[in-house]
Amino acid sequence: MTHSTIQNGSLVSRGMIAVLVAQFFSALADNALLFAAIAMLKFMHAPDWQTPLLQEFFAVAFILLAPFVGPFADSWPKGRVMLAANAMKFAGAIAMLLGLHPLLAYNLVGVGAAAYSPAKYGILSELVGAEKLVKANSMMEGSTIVAILLGAVLGGMLADRSVNMALSGVAACYVIAGLANLLIPKLPAAHPLATFSPVALVRDFWAALIILVKNPDARFSMLGTSVFWGSGSTLRFLLVAWVPVALLISNNGMAANLSGVVAIGIALGAAAAAKFVNLKTINRALPAGILIGLLIPVFAQATSLPTAVVMLVLIGACGGFYVVPLNALLQERGHETVGAGHAIAIQNVFENFAMIVMVGLYALMVKAGMEVVASASLFGLVVFFAIGTLAWLRISKAKAAGRLAEEANS
């Protein structure tokens, strides 16, 4: 079975189903593990500002390993790369279960996730053609969102009963994901490298980064998704602090359940994006991104659970409609130039740098004693101006290009 044959494959092929199943159980474990780690920090009576640091320890692996995981994903069959990455995640969960500090154990999981990400997204452009890529991304996001929903709910629920029980369940999910990885067809390497010298890989990564940054579509996609995932990560930790203050509920389960509610919204938005947006109409996603920043301050003022649920579904729906087309755009531009694995690894640097900055700012707000409602409102305005600026720049350039085309034809 040749690469070109695979690329025009069905959205319900064995390879796609195996990828989706593996992604589901791996993402379920990732999200359950986060709430188990939060519960463990609470059990240890760690300072509140250490909770958002979980994201910092997780994200730093993506940045430090970025020059290596992209070439690794493109130089080996991506299904086997996903298997190795899940094994590292499993090791992190077991290490936490055996008593390693949650911050350090979560960093090990971040190492696995850093290797997993370029493989799981990069394989889509190898399994289906460009005309099916947005739909394939929507299916991937749908699988991920259902996993986020169940993982958050189960992680919070099990952590309230027993942290060890939650960690054992997480480890079992990573094993199931690994078994699904074995069913993914062994595709040819996309961009084999002649050497795995660290110096050569860093140079190769830098060259690929320059190529993508110079590409207007790739640059826009990387910046746009970075703001989204940075805000999404921060919102998760905001919920942990916001629930006891606004809803007067102090268990782990409610914040986890509300994270799941956001996931439901993202699934709805991803489904809508698959129907109404393609690579040629990517700008249709921009208003939804701008709305995220406006809805977060409104949500922060909520004082009842029904209102909070409605607002979080809306925030999630806008997020799904916004981010899925942008992911597809980067995968296609990356596949055309530096390889999808390289492109996703570079995107991960942008996204995780945004996460570190935005979550870090929130951690500083917590340490400074700022009220959670005020910090959430300020955070929402930052998102609004960031995505609004990106949208304005893209639309302005599109209009300028249109005028130049008209003048050339007149």
The token duo for 299 is 């949500």
Residue 152's pLDDT is 80
* DSSP conformation letters of 27-49: HHHHHHHHHHHHHHHHHTT--TT
Q: How far apart are the first and last CA of the chain?
A: 49
- 377-409, pLDDT tens digit by residue? 888 898 999 999 999 998 888 777 767 766 666
Query: Residues of the chain with pLDDT > 70: what percent?
Result: 91
143 pLDDT band, cuts 50/70/90, is confident
- 327-342, pLDDT tens digit by residue? 888 877 877 888 766 7
CA distance 106 to 83: 18
Residue 287's pLDDT is 92
**pLDDT for residue 1 is more than 50:** no
The token duo for 105 is 């154990």
**pLDDT for residue 8 is more than 60:** no
**pLDDT for residue 307 is more than 50:** yes
Residue 5's pLDDT is 41
**pLDDT for residue 111 is more than 90:** yes
Question: Cα angle at 51 between 258 and 372, to 5 degrees?
Answer: 60
360 pLDDT band, cuts 50/70/90, is confident
Residue 10's pLDDT is 65
CA distance 247 to 113: 33
CA distance 86 to 111: 10
Helix (H, G, I), strand (E, B) or coil at 160: helix
Query: Could you tell me if 166 and 155 are in contact, meaning their C-beta atoms sit under 8 angstroms apart?
Result: yes
Query: Residues of the chain with pLDDT > 90: what percent?
Result: 26
Spell out the alpha helix ranges (H) of 98-215.
102-122, 124-127, 133-161, 163-181, 198-214
The token duo for 337 is 């130039």
Q: Residue 302 phi/psi, 5° resolution? A: -65, 145
CA distance 140 to 320: 12
| Cα dihedral 183/189/193/198 (nearest 10) | -30
- 209-254, pLDDT tens digit by residue? 899 889 888 888 899 999 988 888 888 888 888 888 888 887 777 8
Residue 122's pLDDT is 76
What does the mean pLDDT of the chain come to?
A: 84
Residue 102's Cβ-side half-sphere holds a number of Cα atoms within 13 Å equal to: 24
Question: Cα angle at 75 between 71 and 78, to 5 degrees?
Answer: 100
Residue 177's pLDDT is 94
**Gyration radius (Cα) of the chain, Å:** 20
Who contacts 242 (Cβ-Cβ below 8 Å, separation ≥6)?
Answer: 255, 300, 372, 373, 376
Query: Could you tell me if 188 and 3 are in contact, meaning their C-beta atoms sit under 8 angstroms apart?
Result: yes
Who contacts 41 (Cβ-Cβ below 8 Å, separation ≥6)?
Answer: 50, 51, 54, 102
Residue 178's pLDDT is 93
Residue 85's pLDDT is 94
**pLDDT for residue 93 is more than 90:** yes
- 10-57, pLDDT tens digit by residue? 677 787 889 899 999 999 999 899 889 988 998 888 888 888 888 889
Residue 172's pLDDT is 95
**pLDDT for residue 179 is more than 80:** yes
What domains, with CATH codes, occur in the chain?
A: 3-188+207-409 (1.20.1250.20)
More confident residue, 361 or 126: 361
Residue 59's pLDDT is 87
Mean per-residue pLDDT for 291-313? 91
240: closest CA among 29, 34, 28, 27?
34
- 154-167, pLDDT tens digit by residue? 888 898 889 999 99
